[in-house]
A and B are shown apart, each in its own frame.
Chain A
């Protein structure tokens, strides 16, 4: 009976249940925890003016429940122990209750005020507070206690049963990881996930020999293996030749190792693409692997500062002659759709472990988020989907919780809202790391120990890798709920401290993170060349009852696997003890090139590494892409609305443009003291920043700084994925250049989030996007150093817009030359680099006004000269502010600078043959607005070498004035008057910009 709460009544008189269970706690002291005690005592703690209650009331209105007047929140602790009432009082006084703001109540639940709902984590879900209370009790000298926590909400107001149920479902509890009920919940002590304690390890044999294709496929589906019939046949043949059937663990290991998530089947497949141009021309091309194509261009570029690309958990480039930088961006989409807090939480944790997996100290985080519209009417919400607002709030809280607690500044990101993400949000989590040059060991030796450090193993996250390799529908929660977890950032923080010190003391010879697939992937990959033998019986568990295959597959978070020479194991153990990190010696690198897993004496897995890693048949796939026909607005230049103050305010208030302060201020962007250019700029710290500049702690020996930026334009990709790739790369580069980054020292990561690649139209777009990436890498001389593909992003058979995130990492040669978008002063000249385009396909104004343009801006053939010119001017100290032109176009960019700086602007925009509407709203690539002192006018003109034009002046007043001359005529004065398109106050612009997101 999985998930059944266990009450004390259930175990009364059960002798086995009272057996003390020794538990090694992380403090290194051995203690005994009672499995079930005689008495459970309930404590309720309430805090006066708890802001959580007010939050629930506010949110109730948003889900259409207006009768909730007040919500009182209490924390419930169920303490199972032999302690007496005096001990419980002491526990409350010394540990649980802040005497200034909180009150407590011991005993039966306080009578409800209104409707009382309780919410508690399901058995097996991380409950850090319960564990800390158990430790605290020991610290004040109490006998061992076991704790189960819950939240109690007293909903006060005029509510019927349906409304209470609605509030519970929509606001209070997530039934993926929590249970809830009106009235008191029985406590559930997470000792035994489903009452299977006491059984010995059980290894099942799964019959595959003799199965038909249909039966093989049915087996794949039943066990959530996500393997196709060709792959199942290979497994069948392998075990047929061995004369036996696989064990459950062997089959699961193959499914994990061969999953899309782990082995990138689609990105390694041979693909035939049929491309139909808008004019009907059909061309067919063969693609010998998407990943090899990305690697090939990096190999060709091969700049001297490239340290490592595509071979490890993260890409690595040089910082200076002493340090390197590691950068990686991951996605955690499906978990975030089901449990936004936990999904995003563990997304950050996972990508930070990727950085640890290359021996680097994590120093910063990034996040790019794609959600459905926050104002989506409830009636448009599909079954089985959380509202975009709830997903957003949970994801933001989850990112903040993990990044803040790890002490990492979250410095760069963006948020995109689009209907296409309603059923399937995207959560991109990135991390940057710093490591001494050549300090990352990668060669394990025969006889080295296989060592795991960090968190304990539970049933959490089983099937995460295969889960992310399939689409979702309303039943997903029921079938793969266990794939979602809550993170424990403090345990991961311990791993961060230990890995850095272990690296410096050279205590390990190889290292990898334990991510999707758990030990099966981490150990399987690490042991590929040598072979390993593992004993699962020594693995510390969160609770008993896990079968060997579950221990082997569990994706319990916060674990790192290392290869440790036997003579250094003691030193590593001491280090781990000092930092409260649990270490487990799992086994040995054998040299026989076999994967051998036991649970004590019971054999679990015995397979040749060669079959595991090379047995997967290469896929042959078919792709098709049709360019869209031009829309009316594309072919008729006069079919455009007019630009106005009102439209500009609408664009500024659009959630993709408007201030994200409500989100971003919940992330610590200052910790580690290295933030040079932060997410908000200007005197009121509310202007948007183009990119983040960081000076890593410990590199004070020079003035070099790191810059992080990103580019993402899924609206373009709907029409032209090839152009999307190039335009996203341009956005990343121009953001980076705008803060002072060197365009000749940029490396990028690709992150493809796509639909089901077995459908030719989805795959066609993906192939076109990869073609755009390889072309862009050449044009920008910018290597891809790592990447990630997340496929099967579909809900109920509808794919998300194919979305490519480009994340860039580069260098600022001298941190004192870094600039932002709000540094200008009245009297400065305003300059524009780049030209506009008539193409409005994929633009924000197209989305806002529903223009249905399909022709997207043309990528730039030779972008580097202009970026080098701008960079030279910034390094020379001539540029006072710079801002890239992206979502919303030029008028938005100019207005954002005025908002940030709180200074007026007067600009006359060259029409370049465009009507004023297009001139001010198009999103052509390659454009940056600069400001500079008039005294630098001549030198700057020389520097920009024809790439830039002077278009206006920064004013001392508080108005944004933008003109577009219809055509330069001799009656200049008259035309200028007629041509004033925008004239509004900064206060109006600020109101739109800061009000739009709330």
Chain B
């Protein structure tokens, strides 16, 4: 089977596109890193891609709130193209800054949740922080493509300053009821052999103070998924620091690329 073409948009300040492309390639996809300027002037068409991965970084320096400027560009330039992509069931994955963009553009948790009542804002400790975390892919996640790896564990780094999920009780309850919570932070335990348990809001297992340990969410249609941590930085065994075996991020990209076929 030929490798599905997967769009990896690059805006000024995007910086984890290289690893994202590598993860897509390892999973059998054909990553295309394309500057948003090329999309805007029509040299490259969003519609020609089977999926889209919005990578991490600091688009436009995160001025005016992380991801806000690129979200505005998506809304003003590409809203129709993205609607078509989502309606066609093509998977969309946003990682870190990409997740922030999807939330601020209203693509996550999705149109049913507008006006927006969920955001990603400054970490509880008020600073950028880089550390490895343990994630659970929720067993009941609404996203069909992500559910293929449901109830599994991924270890990978976070590296962000504005990753705290904030929403009111009602919105959180709707996310949970709708199975839109895709990833939660876990406590890996004190020893390498321990089974992960819920982080229960405790730092550093929950690194940013996110409500309900939420690390990532999906939309109601299940095609759009976003998360703060970086599974693309754990696709080789040598990338893993000492700790439990396995828990690679690669199965996530396998599932993503499968859904793009």
Contacts and interface: CB of A to CB of B under 8 A. Distances in A.
Instruction: Judge: A and B partners, yes or no.
Output: yes
Nearest to A493: B13
Contact of B64 (A95, A100, A820): A95
A668 interface: yes
B72 A47 contact: no
Given A578-B37, A580-B12, A683 B192 contact: yes
A695 interface: yes
Contacts of B60: 132, 490
A96 interface: yes
A676 B238 contact: yes
Which of A100, A400, A816 has the most chain B CB within a 10 Å cutoff? A100
Contact of A681 (B12, B191, B242): B242
A685 interface: yes
B37 A577 contact: yes
A3 interface: no
Interface stretch (B86-94, B144-152, B173-181, B227-235): B227-235
B67 to A, nearest CB: 11
Given A404-B159, A676-B238, A666 B129 contact: yes
B72 A133 contact: no
Contacts of A670: 130, 157, 159, 230, 233
Contacts of A131: 63
A197 B238 CA distance: 59
Size bin of chain B's contact surface: 35 or more
Contact of B37 (A96, A136, A580, A823): A580
A406 interface: yes
B223 to A, nearest CB: 23
Interface in A92-109: 94-96, 98-101
A413 to B, nearest CB: 14
B61 A95 contact: no
B124 interface: yes
A406 B126 contact: no
Contacts of B37: 27, 577-580
B19 A98 contact: no
Interface stretch (B45-53, B112-120, B214-222, B251-259): B112-120
Interface in B35-87: 35, 37-38, 56-58, 60-65, 68-69, 72-73, 76
B111 interface: no
B18 interface: yes
Contacts of B58: 404-405, 489-490
Interface stretch (A51-59, A302-310, A525-533, A791-799): A51-59
Interface in B94-138: 104, 115-119, 121-132
A494 B126 contact: no
A52 B126 contact: yes
Given A669-B130, A673-B239, A683-B191, A697 B22 contact: yes
A406 B15 contact: yes
Contacts of B119: 98-101
Size bin of chain A's contact surface: 35 or more
B18 A101 contact: no
A140 B76 contact: yes
B16 interface: yes
A99 B239 contact: no
B122 A50 contact: yes
A669 B131 CA distance: 9
B246 interface: no
Contacts of A27: 37
B167 A100 contact: yes
B76 A676 contact: no
A175 B38 CA distance: 42
A823 B192 CA distance: 12
A676 B166 CA distance: 34
Given A51-B126, A101-B166, A697 B19 contact: yes
Contacts of A400: 128
A763 B58 CA distance: 45
Contacts of B121: 47, 98, 100-101
A545 interface: no
A671 interface: yes
B159 A128 contact: no
Given A95-B64, A675-B239, A668 B233 contact: no
Contact of B73 (A128, A139, A407): A139
Nearest to B129: A665
A397 to B, nearest CB: 8
Nearest to A703: B238
A993 interface: no
A822 interface: yes
A815 interface: yes
Nearest to B130: A668
A695 B239 CA distance: 9
A665 B191 contact: no
Interface in A658-689: 665-673, 675-676, 678, 680-685
Interface string A570-591: 0000000111100000000000
Closest 4 CB pairs of A and B: A407-B15, A51-B126, A132-B63, A100-B119
Given A494-B12, A578-B38, A683-B192, 7 more contacts: A47-B121, A132-B61, A132-B69, A577-B37, A671-B19, A685-B132, A698-B18
11 contacts: A96-B64, A100-B166, A132-B60, A136-B72, A494-B12, A579-B37, A580-B12, A675-B239, A681-B242, A683-B191, A822-B242
